[in-house]
Structure 1
Amino acid sequence: MTVVLAVDIGGTKFAAATVGADRGIVERAEMPVGTDPTATLAALVRRFDLTGVTGVGVGSAGPVHLDAGAVSPVNIPAWRRFPVTAALAELTGGLPVALAGDAQCVALGESWRGHTPSLLGVVVSTGVGGGLVLDGAPYLGRTGNAGHIGHIAVGDDDAPCPCGALGCVERVASGPGMVRWAAGLGWAGGTDARALAADAARGVPVARQAFRRGADALAAAIVNTVTLFDLHTVVVGGGVAAAGPVLFDPLRAAVAQRAGIAFLHDLTVQPAALGRDGGLYGAAALALTRAGRRPHPAHH
């Protein structure tokens, strides 16, 4: 059986797994990013026995620089144009490395494991990312950042996003963005979006308002994107998506309100089925595809 190494680079943790072409995870591990992300990546990869592994797929928080095989995760300041493909090739003894954005890998993983061949994948966590799968293939775009909806300008926040622009979805709809806004209105529940979600579920007005505000910004970006690509399915994952109805109820309502044109009326917005492993499955599918071996189709 063909086996690849999948690596998922997030803003606060790195995960990796060996994955078979039959869509099964053989071994999995993760580590917090820590103060030295380069050392963390090396320590994570060295936990695996790579005997028989044929390639590496990596999904990273963006932006990514496909031409250089590099990444500049907004939430990892120590990495700017970090040569991640070269680093992973060295760590794995010269294995071929395929790169895409982390949300792109989530989209590809969801598609591979049984969703429609064309979809928008969205990750709502420390940041907001997105990725596109069109007719079963990842659509990466000119630089590798296609579908990265977190930096579509739709928000009403006057402070600049960490990317330098104003009004980014990520500034409004990410976990830290919602917490920051709620705290500015007097919410004193801490700095964790999970606590904000718990308060929203209990009916605390400012917490509910923060999620409604974030959901509206997210809905605007989703509708803009699916209108351009005539998509039917949106899959939303990430830590904030774990809030469940607290996020999805206002998000679906806002999407329905914005989806005026007839071909958007059957648009579906659903939770990611693969949870925390979606990016790993997508990175594995990316590696298998780039190696010329089509992943086994999902069984229905």
Structure 2
Amino acid sequence: MTILALEIGPAGFAVTRVADDVDPDEVRRIPIPSGGAWAACRDLLLECAEGTEVTAVGIGSMGPVDMAAGVVAPTQIPEWRAGFALVDAVQKIFPIALVQLALDGVCLALAERNFGATSAVSDSLSVVVSDRIAAGVMVGGFVVVGRTGNAGHFGHVLVPGFDDLCECGGRGCLEAVASGASILRWANSQGWVGNSVEALVGAAQAGDEIAVSALNRAGTALGRAIASVASLLDIDLVAVGGTVAKSGPALWKPLAASVATHARLGFLTALRVVPSELDLLGVLAGAGLLAMMAQEAAAQVAD
């Protein structure tokens, strides 16, 4: 009996077998190809299954998603933008498996609540800031899914003071300002030469003014968006992870200052923003948990 977890993220496809936890040494990853995305994803799933009987698959995908229809439509995969029936496709290669799909942010929130930084509270926001921005919300101890499964699209919260064009077609979205790709694009437009967040962080630490400004800009936007969502949902803890979150004080200091400036209502005085405890495995761990929960629920119904 094998349970698989699949993550569809901006960095590529990631698959692992699910046990009590997700071991980073056991995760298999490939970049998303320019064509034949499903064929590459299918091969990775079959490789990880290694001919065993797969009984459940949990999928955490960047959105938009349609949970009821089992369809994903991520803008970062052009051939899937109009909608790809991912659940049906996975079901065809693992006919007896229970296949569960959720937004990557929902999976992240599940993982943080069960294994990570938000386990001690009932109301929280879990955020991953990498090449894009994903998030999941817990309210009253339950993850918020929404009507179509897209609750938690934190990257498309509008940030006051910014007018950057977003990939979604709007302007001023958090993702257009604070995602890794957006930070680099802005820094390059200002004359900084480099092609990675890691290099930008190093340049900021060395005192490069453009690099410092790029991370300050991103941290400020993140703080404003966090304060807004915290005010809306009355949450008291935010966990932030992802590659950009590893930027250190150049990002976290303006983030904290921005939260302090804008989270002013009395019920927000206890609001804390902390690093994720799951490093880069949050979405995959949550997808695995999704699969295990589905299998346990099916077993209870059978009994």
Assess same fold via TM > 0.5: yes
Kindly state the Cα deviation for residue 156 of structure 1 after the two structures are TM-superposed.
4.5
Deviates further, 283-292 or 165-174 = 283-292
CA change 1:4–1:246 in 2 (3 A) is farther
Kindly state the Cα deviation for residue 202 of structure 1 after the two structures are TM-superposed.
1.9
CA change 1:3–1:134 in 2 (3 A) is farther
SS at match of 2:282: helix
Kindly state the Cα deviation for residue 94 of structure 1 after the two structures are TM-superposed.
3.7
**Any idea what the Cα deviations from partners look like across 1:187-235, whole Å, max 9, x if unmatched?**
12x2222211221122211111111111111112211112122111111
Is the Cα contact below 8 Å between 1:147 and 1:225 reproduced in 2? no
SS at match of 1:255: helix
What letter is aligned with 2:106? Q
**Any idea what the Cα deviations from partners look like across 1:41-70, whole Å, max 9, x if unmatched?**
112101123635431111111111123211
SS at match of 1:75: coil
Aligned pairs for 1:190-229 within 5 A: 190-229=194-233
Is the Cα contact below 8 Å between 2:123 and 2:234 reproduced in 1? no
What letter is aligned with 2:89? A
Kindly state the Cα deviation for residue 271 of structure 1 after the two structures are TM-superposed.
1.3
Is the Cα contact below 8 Å between 2:54 and 2:96 reproduced in 1? no
Kindly state the Cα deviation for residue 245 of structure 1 after the two structures are TM-superposed.
2.6
Deviates further, 150-159 or 108-117 = 150-159
Instruction: Find the aligned partners of 1:59 and 1:275 in 2 and give their Cα distance.
Output: 16
Segments of 5+ residues of structure 2 without an aligned counterpart are 299-303
Instruction: Find the aligned partners of 1:11 and 1:282 in 2 and give their Cα distance.
Output: 17
Identity %: 40
**Alignment correspondent of 1:73:** 74
**Alignment correspondent of 1:120:** 125
Instruction: Find the aligned partners of 2:62 and 2:188 in 1 and give their Cα distance.
Output: 26
Instruction: Find the aligned partners of 2:293 and 2:125 in 1 and give their Cα distance.
Output: 19
**Alignment correspondent of 2:52:** 51
Is the Cα contact below 8 Å between 2:215 and 2:251 reproduced in 1? yes
Kindly state the Cα deviation for residue 96 of structure 1 after the two structures are TM-superposed.
1.4
Is the Cα contact below 8 Å between 2:58 and 2:287 reproduced in 1? yes
**Alignment correspondent of 2:291:** 287
**Alignment correspondent of 2:112:** 110
**Alignment correspondent of 2:139:** 134
SS at match of 1:275: coil
What letter is aligned with 1:214? A
**Any idea what the Cα deviations from partners look like across 1:3-51, whole Å, max 9, x if unmatched?**
521111111211111112x335494211111223212211210112363
What letter is aligned with 1:238? G
What letter is aligned with 1:10? G
Instruction: Find the aligned partners of 1:46 and 1:9 in 2 and give their Cα distance.
Output: 16
Is the Cα contact below 8 Å between 2:70 and 2:88 reproduced in 1? yes
SS at match of 2:281: helix
Is the Cα contact below 8 Å between 1:155 and 1:168 reproduced in 2? no
Kindly state the Cα deviation for residue 288 of structure 1 after the two structures are TM-superposed.
2.2
**Alignment correspondent of 2:154:** 149
Q: How high is the TM-score relative to the length of structure 1?
A: 0.90
Tell me how many residue pairs correspond in the alignment.
291
Segments of 5+ residues of structure 1 without an aligned counterpart are 295-300
What letter is aligned with 1:46? L
Is the Cα contact below 8 Å between 1:219 and 1:251 reproduced in 2? yes
SS at match of 2:14: strand
Specify which of 251, 264, 267 is matched with residue 260 of structure 1: 264
Specify which of 92, 99, 102 is matched with residue 100 of structure 1: 102
Is the Cα contact below 8 Å between 2:107 and 2:282 reproduced in 1? yes
Kindly state the Cα deviation for residue 253 of structure 1 after the two structures are TM-superposed.
1.7
Q: How high is the TM-score relative to the length of structure 2?
A: 0.89
Deviates further, 106-115 or 241-250 = 241-250
Instruction: Find the aligned partners of 2:97 and 2:142 in 1 and give their Cα distance.
Output: 22
What letter is aligned with 1:230? D
Q: Does 1:15 align with 2:14?
A: yes
Is the Cα contact below 8 Å between 1:45 and 1:91 reproduced in 2? no
Instruction: Find the aligned partners of 1:248 and 1:124 in 2 and give their Cα distance.
Output: 12
**Alignment correspondent of 2:301:** none
